[in-house]
């Protein structure tokens, strides 16, 4: 009589389903990344978004960098 169903939870950050077990060390998050996002530490990475530099301000420094 062991009909244990694995408990599943949804990652609060991305909504991905994951199993609530020992293997999920970042639970309730699906991954370390999602955990960091939720903690706000992901902001440290977010100024590396590609495309932002197209806005111009750092054009000059980029230019001299490439020469």
14 interacts with Zn ion by CB under 5 A: yes
Say if CB 61 and CB 38 are below 8 A apart. no
Residues whose CB is less than 8 angstroms from the CB of residue 8 and which lie 6 or more positions away in sequence, other chains included: 17, 18, 19, 20
37 interacts with Zn ion by CB under 5 A: no
Beta carbon nearer to Zn ion, 28 or 53: 28
**Minimum distance, C-beta of residue 24 to Zn ion, in the bound complex (Å):** 11
Q: Which range touches Zn ion (CB under 5 A), out of 9-17, 19-27, 39-47, 53-61?
A: 9-17
Say if CB 19 and CB 27 are below 8 A apart. no
13 interacts with Zn ion by CB under 5 A: yes
35 interacts with Zn ion by CB under 5 A: no
Say if CB 24 and CB 18 are below 8 A apart. yes
């Amino acid at each position: 009589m062991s009909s244990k169903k694995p408990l599943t939870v949804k990652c609060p950050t991305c909504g991905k389903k994951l199993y609530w077990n020992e293997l999920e060390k970042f639970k309730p998050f699906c991954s370390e990344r999602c955990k960091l996002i939720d903690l706000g530490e992901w902001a440290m990475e977010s100024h590396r978004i590609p495309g932002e530099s197209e806005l111009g301000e750092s054009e000059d420094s980029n230019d001299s960098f490439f020469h």
